[in-house]
Structure 1
Amino acid sequence: MTASIIGPEDIDAVLATVPRQRIRPLDAVRALIRLARDPEDTQQVALMGIALAGRSQRRVFRRFVSFPAGQAVIREKRSLARTLDDHDYLRTLKPNSLGRHYLAFMEREGLSARGLIEATPAVTRKLSELPEPIRLFSSYTSRDMHDLYHVLTGYGRDELGEVCVLAVSYEQLRIRAFRLISTTGPFVVRRYLRKAGIDGDGVFAAVREARRIGRAAAWIPSLDIEALLAEDLDELRARLNLAEPVAYRAVIARIRTATGWNSGPFSALARTV
């Protein structure tokens, strides 16, 4: 079954083996509170995703394997994280390619695809309980692609950038935890900015814009992501209909003008005041 998932009967057979999981809203709220206290605690996003998953990803999985690229991920047991961590390969790509921009982003931020896996052990444990096709789909689309979404959309790793990336990702993947964070996150971001003496104007507009960007864009999980790494980033954004995050950049520009801040979490900026 794993070697060739093509027809509806194969997909139904895989989904029938997925363990039933009830939604645990209180666990999600606890994780959300912990994330608000420490936006760097990536594990809390994973715990929210697990608590709210239920049966929500079944429809997305069906859509994913309806595309040749999705079927190739399952058939070939692809690991996007392994490709993304092959920095020697990424350096061979053209300077303005997605892969080179991704490499620059990860090196600048001190990140790795493997590091994200290690930072979310709860996800690793949960994935191990799932049938292999679902495990491959979930790790490929909702975990390993996260930092690629940053590069594709142009959002930074500050708190507002993270919320905006999850807003885009929710429109693409319909993961309930992403919706919860992108709905409540702007309040947290605005609180940090006000603690630093900066008004929060534009924060909510930036997240609304991110949702529109995610809805209007092509469905990125349907594409051969490994092949996209070699494409010119500007041309790729145009082809995928990924609009520029104008509202987000306006907020960032205002923060830089007011404080001299260049990068890093807003929470740290607030603590210096």
Structure 2
Amino acid sequence: MRHFRNLIADKEDTSQVFHITNALNGNDLYKAFNRFLAHPEGRKRFEERRYLPQLLDNRDILRAMPKGSLADAYCNFMDREGLTAQGLVDEFDRFAKDIDDQRTPEFKWYNNRSRDTHDMLHVLTGYGRDALGETSVLAYSYQQTSGLGIQFIAYMGAIEVKRWAPKGAPVLGSIREAARRGKAAENIMLHDLMDLLPRPIEDVREMLNITPMTVYPEVHRQMREAGLDPYEAVGGPVSEPVAA
């Protein structure tokens, strides 16, 4: 709870997320790792063991891909938000120096792949980096990777947003819809990103069965009608995304 309160105070402090998941996930992610390895595509990705941050931060490669592609949308999102894949690695390293990390190298690779595809999920699902968007992405992710800590942040974070939002806004409905979308979709971790990145983003969404959302934009509409900026809710402002 202390780390959760720290996260609510500053949702940009991603190291708090790692502390929470470390405290609550138990063996969930190890079970997910075993399921990943049992999947033919997961086994391929594991045998390749490509390090994603170097690829995802290589603007020369990504910007050379077609306009309207996943790579184009990803670069636009990351550049607009002032983010890098390496930045998330650095946040994790801040957390890791404070714990006795006894994970195997194989599991570390899997955990890193989950970390390094997080911002890609923002792009594909359409959820922004406002508090409700972040919690909705986590609710989506939980259906594919498990982890009680992830679910804890999703629902506790949504409760904080609900306190801030106008009465009757379907905040928890956004979380539930995100969970349904995540359950229906294929896990991006199973896919070769170099195959997905050049493709039109709508084709990738269709390939992964990422269904449209309705509740999240409705919450934003109700917030704005009440004179509230969704991107200033819980933990300070972040920039509003532009549609891909």
TM-score, structure 2 as length reference: 0.88
Identify the residue that residue 39 of structure 2 maps to in structure 1.
Answer: 67
Identify the residue that residue 182 of structure 2 maps to in structure 1.
Answer: 214
Go from structure 1 to structure 2 and tell me whether the alpha carbon gap of 1:241 and 1:84 turns closer, same or farther (over 3 Å shift). Answer: same
- 1:102, CA displacement in angstroms? 0.6
Identify the residue that residue 231 of structure 2 maps to in structure 1.
Answer: 264
Q: Which one of the candidate residues 171, 190, 193 is aligned to 1:225?
A: 193
Q: Which amino acid aligns with 1:171?
A: Q
Go from structure 1 to structure 2 and tell me whether the alpha carbon gap of 1:59 and 1:218 turns closer, same or farther (over 3 Å shift). Answer: same
Please state whether the residue corresponding to 1:264 is helix, strand or coil. Answer: helix
- 1:164, CA displacement in angstroms? 0.1
- Partners of 2:125 and 2:150 lie apart in 1 by 16
- Partners of 2:174 and 2:14 lie apart in 1 by 22
Deviations 1:210-235 (A, max 9, x none): 01111111233222223211121111
Q: Which one of the candidate residues 93, 103, 109 is aligned to 1:136?
A: 109
Identify the residue that residue 104 of structure 1 maps to in structure 2.
Answer: 76
Answer yes or no: is the 8 Å Cα contact 2:78–2:84 preserved in 1.
yes
Identify the residue that residue 119 of structure 1 maps to in structure 2.
Answer: 91
Go from structure 1 to structure 2 and tell me whether the alpha carbon gap of 1:182 and 1:61 turns closer, same or farther (over 3 Å shift). Answer: same
Runs of 4+ more than 6 Å apart: none
Deviates more, 1:245-254 or 1:220-229: 220-229
Identify the residue that residue 7 of structure 1 maps to in structure 2.
Answer: none
- 1:117, CA displacement in angstroms? 1.2
In our comparison, the structure showing a higher alpha carbon Rg is 1
- 1:68, CA displacement in angstroms? 4.0
Deviations 1:141-194 (A, max 9, x none): 2x101101101100000000000000000011002111101121111012233x
Question: Greater relative contact order: 1 or 2 (C-alpha under 8 angstroms, separation 6 or more)?
Answer: 2
Give aligned-pair identity as a percent: 35
- 1:247, CA displacement in angstroms? 0.4
Please, which runs of 5 or more residues in structure 1 have no aligned partner? 1-28
Q: Which one of the candidate residues 169, 172, 185 is aligned to 2:157?
A: 185
Please, which runs of 5 or more residues in structure 2 have no aligned partner? 238-244
Matching of residues 140-219 of structure 1 within 5 Å? 140-141=113-114, 143-193=115-165, 198-199=166-167, 201-219=169-187
- 1:84, CA displacement in angstroms? 0.7
Query: RMSD in angstroms over aligned alpha carbons?
Result: 2.1
Q: Which amino acid aligns with 1:210?
A: A
Identify the residue that residue 92 of structure 1 maps to in structure 2.
Answer: 64
Q: Which one of the candidate residues 233, 237, 251 is aligned to 2:219?
A: 251
Deviations 1:101-148 (A, max 9, x none): 01000001000000111122255446964222111111012x101101
Please state whether the residue corresponding to 2:38 is helix, strand or coil. Answer: coil
- Partners of 2:147 and 2:39 lie apart in 1 by 20
